[in-house]
């Protein structure tokens, strides 16, 4: 491991000692502001805790155009079942296995902490030649690009944006999907649980999960979809009354664990077990290649209950869940292999007197994105519920004539002796928002190899960090006066 990679990983480890859950970025914001002040760099912030650290040019680069290195400070906080890790105070523990860096039982946060680590490493290395650059670090990217959406014109000066939030080394991203988050709430009614009923909790678990944009076409299951099917199957076999339902943790993650609590007559417990095992066997056949760890647990509930859904409300809730489309809705006709439109049933929960369903739609075509949201809204209305789009962000349309893209391709091929891959992705990037706020911004996105983001299996290839670093330094030099 060379000195540059060691320095980057050291900074990354320091970042991972600071809590940085989305929308709870106060501590990492202070750490970054203090870092900039300690290094003597000018640093601005705004009401949304976005940060801009300004780095002056090296000698000979005074007339070069200013660059903007961009990433986000927050991370998706996922952990393995049974973990006692507290993301509000516990550091992320790094685990190195050969060429791979992961975390001990939690998501790693390389998405997107490694961007900040590389940018700070570049800013603090006096031996690197570079134009003036700004380090734009945004907040709440993972929960809806809230920080980017709150940026105001004039917060950054540069017109060349290097977004460091991609996850495949040697791949330049030049476009991304836009997104809507649609929240459904369905009113439900409850009644008392009869004395001759007992409670049983079913848990769909053991799934891979993953990023709802990157992994939506990988045949990975959603526990929210499976629990909905399981509830329907069980209720067709026995008189099982729905008591509680909850699953999923983040709008941009495929749900890995979902729970349903049933009230059943005491004499029907064996029938319930039989119905569950039959459905589990079918699920395992369907997922015999990808989600091979899938299983359904049958336990006593983790808390006490005194009410269950009335039958009419249960039927409406289950039918609504089964009617909402999940997964790939349309593939792109313009770009082979690109998902054009999708929906993720991200979070479901019974709370007070409503069933809440948080859906995340993505599309590279805004009209198709809106159509996907309309389908979800129609399902909600047919069930007697309400829906609202609670957040949205624009797509980033590719510009294949971009001067920055041409320069990056030339620098990469000269540095590594091979051509980079140019792609648009189905995931959301802040470039679409940034480009809509800062007129005339030329943008590209790149980064090291990071797999299984938004899950405890997240891992980053260390050698690819070195390759991205070498490319970035060579790109800096290409702007010399």
Look up 221 and say whether it is catalytic: no
CA distance 198 to 193: 9
Q: Which two tokens stand for residue 76?
A: 């998706």
Within a 10 A sphere around the Cβ of 351, how many other Cβ atoms?
11
Residues in contact with 60: Cβ distance below 8 Å, sequence separation at least 6, in sequence order: 129, 480, 481
Quickly count helices (H) and strands (E) in the chain.
11, 25
| DSSP-assigned beta bridge partners for residue 299 | 201
Please name which of 178, 224, 182 lies closest in space to residue 377, comparing C-alpha atoms: 182
- Cβ atoms of 69 and 135 within 8 Å: the answer is yes
What one-character-per-residue DSSP string does 145-174 give?
Answer: SHHHHT--TTS---SEEEE----STTEEEE
Within 303-420, residue ranges assigned H as helices are 311-323, 366-382, 403-416
The CA–CA distances, whole Å, from 403 to 175, 231, 407 equal 15, 54, 6
What one-character-per-residue DSSP string does 403-445 give?
Answer: HHHHHHHHHHHHHHSSPPEEEEESS--THHHHHHHSTT-EEEE
Q: Which two tokens stand for residue 189?
A: 């009614």
For residue 3, what is the enclosing H or E element? helix 3-15
b or e along 398-416 (b: 16 or more beta carbons within 10 Å of the residue's beta carbon)?
Answer: beeebebbebbbebbeeee
The pairs formed by 270-278 with CB atoms below 8 angstroms and a separation of 24 or more are 271/237, 271/238, 272/200, 272/234, 272/238, 272/240, 272/298, 273/298, 274/237, 275/233, 275/234, 275/237, 275/238, 276/202, 276/230, 276/234, 278/233
- Cβ atoms of 125 and 132 within 8 Å: the answer is no
| Active-site annotation holder among 25, 78, 134, 141 | 141
CA distance 132 to 476: 10
| Active-site annotation holder among 25, 74, 111, 142 | 74
> What DSSP character marks residue 268?
G
Look up 62 and say whether it is catalytic: no
Tell me the catalytic residues: 74, 141
């Amino acid at each position: 491991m060379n000195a540059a990679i060691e320095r980057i990983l050291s900074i990354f480890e320091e970042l991972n000692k600071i809590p940085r859950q989305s929308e709870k970025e106060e501590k990492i914001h202070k750490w970054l502001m203090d870092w900039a002040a300690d290094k003597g760099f000018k640093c601005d912030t705004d009401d949304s805790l976005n940060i801009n650290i300004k780095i002056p040019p090296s000698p000979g680069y005074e007339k070069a155009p200013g660059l903007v290195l961009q990433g986000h400070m927050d991370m998706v906080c996922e952990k393995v079942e049974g973990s006692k890790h507290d993301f509000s105070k516990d550091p992320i523990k790094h685990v190195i296995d050969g060429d791979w860096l992961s975390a001990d039982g939690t998501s790693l946060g390389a998405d997107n902490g490694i961007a900040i680590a590389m940018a700070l490493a570049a800013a603090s290395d006096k031996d690197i030649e570079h134009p003036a650059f700004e380090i734009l670090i945004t907040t709440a990217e993972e929960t809806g690009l809230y920080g980017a959406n709150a940026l105001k014109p004039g917060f950054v000066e540069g017109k060349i944006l290097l977004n460091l939030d991609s996850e495949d080394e040697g791949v330049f991203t030049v476009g991304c999907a836009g997104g809507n988050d649609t929240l459904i709430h369905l009113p439900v009614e409850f009644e008392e649980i009869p004395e001759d009923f007992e409670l049983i909790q079913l848990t769909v678990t053991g799934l891979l999960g993953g990023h709802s944009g990157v992994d939506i076409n990988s045949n990975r299951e959603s526990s929210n979809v499976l629990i909905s099917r399981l509830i329907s199957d069980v209720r067709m076999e026995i008189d099982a009354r729905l008591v509680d339902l909850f699953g999923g943790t983040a709008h941009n993650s495929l749900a890995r664990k979902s729970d349903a609590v049933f009230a059943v007559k005491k004499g029907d417990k064996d029938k319930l077990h039989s119905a569950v095992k039959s459905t589990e066997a079918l699920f395992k056949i369907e997922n015999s290649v990808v989600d091979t760890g899938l299983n359904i647990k049958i336990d006593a509930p983790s808390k006490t209950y005194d009410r269950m859904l009335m039958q009419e409300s249960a039927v409406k809730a289950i039918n609504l869940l089964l009617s909402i489309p999940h997964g790939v809705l349309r593939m792109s006709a313009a770009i082979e292999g690109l998902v054009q439109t999708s929906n993720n049933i991200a979070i479901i929960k019974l709370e007070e007197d409503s069933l809440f369903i948080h859906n995340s739609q993505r599309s590279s075509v805004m009209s198709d994105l809106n159509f996907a949201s309309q389908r979800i809204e129609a399902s909600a209305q047919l069930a007697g519920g309400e829906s609202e789009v609670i957040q949205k962000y624009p797509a980033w349309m590719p510009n294949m004539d971009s001067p920055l893209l041409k320069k990056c391709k030339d620098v990469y091929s000269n540095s590594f002796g091979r051509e980079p891959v140019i792609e648009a992705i189905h995931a959301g990037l802040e470039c679409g928002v940034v480009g809509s706020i800062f007129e005339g911004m030329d943008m590209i996105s790149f980064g090291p190899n990071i797999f299984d983001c938004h899950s405890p299996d997240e891992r980053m290839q260390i050698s690819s960090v070195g390759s991205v670093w070498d490319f970035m330094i060579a790109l800096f030099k290409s702007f010399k006066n």
